[in-house]
Chain A
Amino acid sequence: MKILFFAALRERLNCDHVQLDIPLPSDTNSIRSALQQTFPEQADILADGKALVAVNQTLTHDNTGVKEGDEVAFFPPVTGG
């Protein structure tokens, strides 16, 4: 499935998305682990507390289920306003 990245995370990973080979349905914790394996040198900024996760454009706070067709994005804590 396609995972989107924004801001500092996009720059550190050097891509704005990745196609992740993961069986669905899955959940945000599993996707986070898979991303850390895909980008082992950047595992620190993908860690829980360092990268936020949105599923279908809504911020998640706990482990959240992800199914086929969902839009999943990882990004740093927000700094607008």
Chain B
Amino acid sequence: MKSLSFHRSPGDNRADMKFIAVQTQDFDVAAEYAELRKDNRSDGAIVFFSGLVREMNQGSEVSGLTLEHYPGMTEKALQQIVDQAFERWPLNRVRLIHRIGTLTITDQIVFVGVSSAHREAAFEACHFIMDFLKTRAPFWKKEVTEKGERWVEALDKDQQALSKWQDAGEEADTEKKATKVEK
């Protein structure tokens, strides 16, 4: 884990700084938000994203879906994505939960919560984690539609979304360097 220099209150548990879970059960956004806030004296910003199962996708009405994954690689891929986010931005806590198994319309699929001293890092890191999760983490959705079951097709736009982090990462690095120089 990256060592961070700012003060931590005694209530901070370093083991919880990067929480990653792949699970069949639902999650409670309020409970996750509370974990990001709990005894967190250093952070002024929390940004979270939750992804849901929606009714219409790729032109068909969807009644539910099954999420398959690659056990072992999934956890490893998510850990790498979170580690990369910690390298790019001055984050304090990340909580990432992705569900697997059978889900229905309106169900929650994924949660990404990020805390940082300032909002820019929290917004960007949350976005970054989702963009990389969409293209690098081995999950596959199989939807149930009125025409039968079908595997969801990967979208070019998800792949293209990664290109913005090339520049953003460099900018973030430059900002860090600039901050160091000022000090």
Contacts and interface: CB of A to CB of B under 8 A. Distances in A.
A16 to B, nearest CB: 11
A78 B135 contact: yes
A54 interface: yes
A57 B134 contact: no
A76 B70 contact: no
A20 to B, nearest CB: 18
Interface string B133-156: 111111111100000000111100
A81 B136 contact: no
B38 to A, nearest CB: 26
8 tightest CB-CB pairs across the interface, nearest first?
A: A80-B139, A77-B154, A57-B73, A7-B140, A8-B151, A79-B152, A81-B134, A79-B141
B134 A78 contact: yes
Given A77-B154, A80-B98, A80-B110, A54 B138 contact: yes
B109 interface: yes
A75 B51 CA distance: 23
Contact of A81 (B70, B76, B109): B109
Contacts of A6: 68, 70, 138, 140
